[in-house]
Amino acid sequence: MDSVKAICAECGTPLWGINLNKRGSDYYCSADFERLSPEEEMANDRRAKEYENYQKMFDGSAIEEYVTNGGFDSDVSWTKGTGWTIASNVASCDGTQSAESLLTQTQVREIWIYYTFTFTISNYSAGSISVRNGTSYTGTSRSANGTYTEDLFQNFEYNNNALAADSSFIGSVDNFSIRRKKS
């Protein structure tokens, strides 16, 4: 039998094992540890969430898709700026825009994290397009057919996934993806 490791500061119960509930410098049995103040509960919840996020970054389980309908299978989930259409499993911009034109959808992502943006350009004939992380962080301008991937840091709570076509972009986009970057 293991020796007593600590005594519950609340009820005096002898505690054994390695997973002792500790608050400050005191140890508690499970029944007494559950009586946390709202501040302690919030701090424990925050630590648990932080631990879960770090764990997900390292085991790869946090690499979820943040774009809905990134294959453009339908005209659903997207807000189309001037010149944009969605048909035949691609989003296309026809060059009728007179200024930058966005293809967006609302999606809130966590902050202080790198995200990997990927998309494929086809049927390119003019202008350039880039990914947009919120309102001010724009990826590299692309002006040729191909699949492009880049990582952008998110330090503000933006609420959109966007492709930004410049005033003369003509081409199609497919396979738009945003995933949390794996560490």
Q: Give the pLDDT confidence of 138-167 residue by residue, as tens digits.
A: 789 999 999 999 988 877 766 678 899 999
> What residue type is assigned to position 146 of the chain?
G
User: Tell me, what's the pLDDT at 1?
Assistant: 43
> What residue type is assigned to position 46 of the chain?
R
CATH code given to domain 79-180: 2.60.120.260
Q: Where are the domains of the chain?
A: 6-59, 79-180
Geometric angle at alpha carbon 93, from 90 and 99, rounded to 5°: 150
Find all residues with CB under 8 Å of 21, minimum gap 6, and list them. 27, 28, 29, 30, 32, 33
Instruction: Give 73-85 pLDDT, tens digit per residue.
Output: 998 889 999 999 9
Q: Retrieve residue 25's tokens.
A: 């410098």
Q: Retrieve residue 154's tokens.
A: 């998110």
User: Tell me, what's the pLDDT at 28?
Assistant: 72
